[in-house]
Structure 1
Amino acid sequence: MISLSSPLRARASSRPATVTGRARRVLCSVPLALTWSYSGILHRVTHWPDVQFERLYGTEWIAMVPSAESLATAAKTLTAANWQPYLEFVPTTVREFMAQFSFARLEALQVAARCPALLADLAETPALTAFVSAHVELRGTTTPRWSEINAVHDRNGIFGVLEWLGLPASRQTLAILRNVVQPNLPRRFLDPLRSMLWEPKALTALQRDSALTDRQLSHYIHALAA
């Protein structure tokens, strides 16, 4: 009688798989928000392209419309070191546009994010940015009208925006605003300057100055009010 031998068990290899080469450490950058304190409450603006302004309420961030005072506090608080990581996520054209604003940089950021089609026109006339940013006050509305600005610009270009802001829709207006040395126009200048641009004598005086500083604008504004 022939006996059959028991089957041989195949041995599974117990050698662990080896990893060839070195694993690379990948650093994943996370978009940052800019945060500052105003009246004892934390405020922030989220990363590009959302650019959502928020305030901390309890443990939650609530969307809000930033006040002029809050933006002014941010301008005094946020340093170049604070801005640097934030700007890494902002397109180059927008960064170059914002670089012209040493003080009202958040206002410029908001305008660029809400009205991207205006960017080329505003890059040529940076001082107009202050008027667009302050349109709620200048037009006497209660809420921002960003979509309306975009629609006006889409239909009638930059001259339509000038008219919508209550400024003379002319090349003279653009030429004078391009002569403003610092586009960080103080908000208190905007309404008086708008009135000046409608006055023939003031218009002539402004046209004579090829470099309008804040000091010169203040002089003209006080002269008009006298």
Structure 2
Amino acid sequence: MSRSIDRILDQAAIPDTVTDDELDGLKQEIVRDVTATLMFGAQPAPQGHHPTRLEFADRHLKTLSCDLLRSSQAAEHIAGIADDPVDIDGALHFGCLLNLARKPEGALWWWQYAAGAGNATAAYCLHLLHLGRGELRDADHWMRQALDLDISLARRPTRPEHPWPTHTRVLREAVDRLKVEEACGEFHHPDQRLADQIEELADAC
């Protein structure tokens, strides 16, 4: 009797179908989760909702973008990139404005430009952008770039994280009136008027 039961249990057992590659993938996923927790901290969630790492990255990027636009030098940086397309800090801040105006591809271009010129914060923004999209390989690449450029990089929001800015329409209107080169996708050119509006636009965050 006992041998029959053992045989039945053996036949009912679920075979081990997890490959070594899948195990490695799971381990990497755990490392990314731990890294995200260390970077973003444990965040309180609304009752019944469990935010994902992707949502944390998305919210963190919005908050970081708003914080940079609210900085005392934001207008100067936007004016700099309007006058001189090689102004790296201006490229970082303009990318933040495009991101908040829901122009992620434009933000991607300007952040890549700034990161390629050695701006660690722009590389970190790219990490968050790709992480929020679930593009983990690209996210890992830009995190490594950010740390290579500034090993002490540990930007944290200076105020609670939030969803999209309340007055997104104001931001989009300011961006939509800019000159665009469609041959390069949706490549926006900042101008001096945008720099003059920066306090109003920062208030819309």
TM-score range, shorter chain: under 0.3
Rg larger in 1 or in 2?
Answer: 1
Structure in which a larger fraction of residues adopt strand = 1
Structure in which a larger fraction of residues adopt helix = 2
Which protein has greater RCO, CA pairs closer than 8 Å, 6+ apart? Answer: 2
Alignment TM-score, normalising by the size of structure 1: 0.19
Alignment TM-score, normalising by the size of structure 2: 0.21
